[in-house]
Amino acid sequence: MPYLDLDGYRLFYLRRAGSSRQFPPILFLHGAGGNALLWGRVIQHLPGRAAIALDLPGHGRSTGPGSATIAGYRRAVLAAADALGLQTVIVAGHSMGGAIALDMALEAPERVRALVLMSVTARLYVAPALLEQLVQDPAKARQWIIETGYGPDTLAQARALGARQLAAVRPEVLHGDFVACSVFDARPRLGEVRAPALVLCGAEDRLTPPRYVAALQQGLPEARLVLIPGAGHMLPLECPEDVARALSAFLDESDLG
């Protein structure tokens, strides 16, 4: 099993070699309560691309306590990139992972060649009632996330995979993830982002609604928005082919394909 021994914890990752060393690898970051398996089918539809998917600390097969800040996860991701010898990456993040990717582009711009931001907004509002429920009744909170996170036509298999990922993470880690999201606000600094960005959103996303995702795209200096009809919040599980297609087109247009 591929693990990195970092500062007091072990971080699990999946890695696929690319057919060319000309372009930076894609570093995939999952969202709150997820793990690297979120990206499996997306990576399958990107033949020839070097790809790495991480289990963030406290998630999946990684040890550690997780983090209650996006900055904490950003530092962990950069430490993993250092350990893997990655100087520059294309960062693709979903939901909380998108916030981590955006924070990387702001705090370590020399490391980020391009951004792919899925189902994320510049400010990740989390209702106080959900934060409380994640402590008082984690099972009920998970059920709400599952019921709200998908578009109406999502296959049962995709929902089941998402449910298994949520069930596998410790309640205190999941709560910390949502706390991290609740205090994240990059709106004042969007104009500082130098990397070109692709912003993806499901047309039926109820967690990060399209109008707020569009505001993120409009605030970035160099970004394009792709709206995926019928999809909800969990794009990598709901429509991996659409995600891979949009990502490939973006990389081609950015001379990174």
Evaluate if residue 1 carries a pLDDT over 70.
no
Per-residue pLDDT of 91-123, as tens digits, reads 999 999 999 999 999 999 999 999 999 999 999
Mean pLDDT of 209-220: 98
Per-residue pLDDT of 3-13, as tens digits, reads 999 988 999 99
Per-residue pLDDT of 13-31, as tens digits, reads 999 998 777 899 999 999 9
CA dist., res. 49 & res. 248, Å (int): 9
DSSP 39: G
Structure tokens at 203: 């047309």
When pLDDT is cut at 50, 70 and 90, the band that residue 244 belongs to is very high
The whole-number pLDDT of residue 18 equals 87
The whole-number pLDDT of residue 145 equals 96
When pLDDT is cut at 50, 70 and 90, the band that residue 257 belongs to is confident
Q: Could you list the residue range(s) of the whole structural domain that residue 13 is in?
A: 3-253
The total number of structural domains that make up the chain: 1
The whole-number pLDDT of residue 155 equals 85
Phi-psi region of 87 (alpha: psi -120 to 50; beta: other; left: phi over 0): alpha
The whole-number pLDDT of residue 146 equals 94
Angle value at C-alpha 1, between 63 and 241, nearest 5 degrees: 90
Q: Residue 231 sits in a domain of what CATH number?
A: 3.40.50.1820
Q: Are strands 197-202 and 89-94 parallel, antiparallel or unpaired?
A: unpaired
Q: Where are the alpha helices (DSSP H) in the chain?
A: 40-44, 70-83, 96-107, 128-136, 138-148, 156-168, 171-182, 210-219, 235-238, 240-253
Per-residue pLDDT of 116-148, as tens digits, reads 999 999 999 999 999 999 999 999 999 999 999
Amino acid at 199: V
